[in-house]
């Protein structure tokens, strides 16, 4: 997948980072206090956005997101012995 998207959330530090594409050597720019965009050093392409104090800024209790595919976990029980 060319533009793979990954999420990283550090609950203790309340830091969310969303990565796009493959990892590369980057530099970061703070676009507003506590919000950073990382850019690929060679191409200048935006590779991730990081947000400090994410829960405080969003007032979220849980972090939820929608995936572009549906999962059916009901059949997993048949294959996995608990």
Question: Tokens at residue 2, please?
Answer: 């060319």
Condensed to tens digits (0 to 9), the pLDDT of residues 2-56 reads: 668 888 888 899 999 999 888 899 999 999 999 999 999 999 889 999 999 988 8
- pTM for the model: 0.67
Per-residue model confidence (pLDDT) at position 30: 94
Distance separating alpha carbons of residues 47 and 40, to the nearest angstrom: 6
* Residue 1 pLDDT class (50, 70, 90 cuts): very low
Distance separating alpha carbons of residues 76 and 28, to the nearest angstrom: 41
Distance separating alpha carbons of residues 45 and 74, to the nearest angstrom: 40
**Statement: residue 79 has pLDDT above 60:** no
Which of the two residues, 63 and 53, has the higher pLDDT score? 53
């Amino acid at each position: 997948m060319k533009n793979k998207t990954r999420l990283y959330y550090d609950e203790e530090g309340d830091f969310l980072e969303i990565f796009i594409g493959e990892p590369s050597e980057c530099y970061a720019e703070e676009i507003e206090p506590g919000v950073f965009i990382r850019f690929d050093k060679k191409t200048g392409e935006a590779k991730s956005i990081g947000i400090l104090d994410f829960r405080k800024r969003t007032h979220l209790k849980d972090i939820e997101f929608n995936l572009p595919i549906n999962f059916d976990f009901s059949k997993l029980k048949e294959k996995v012995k608990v």
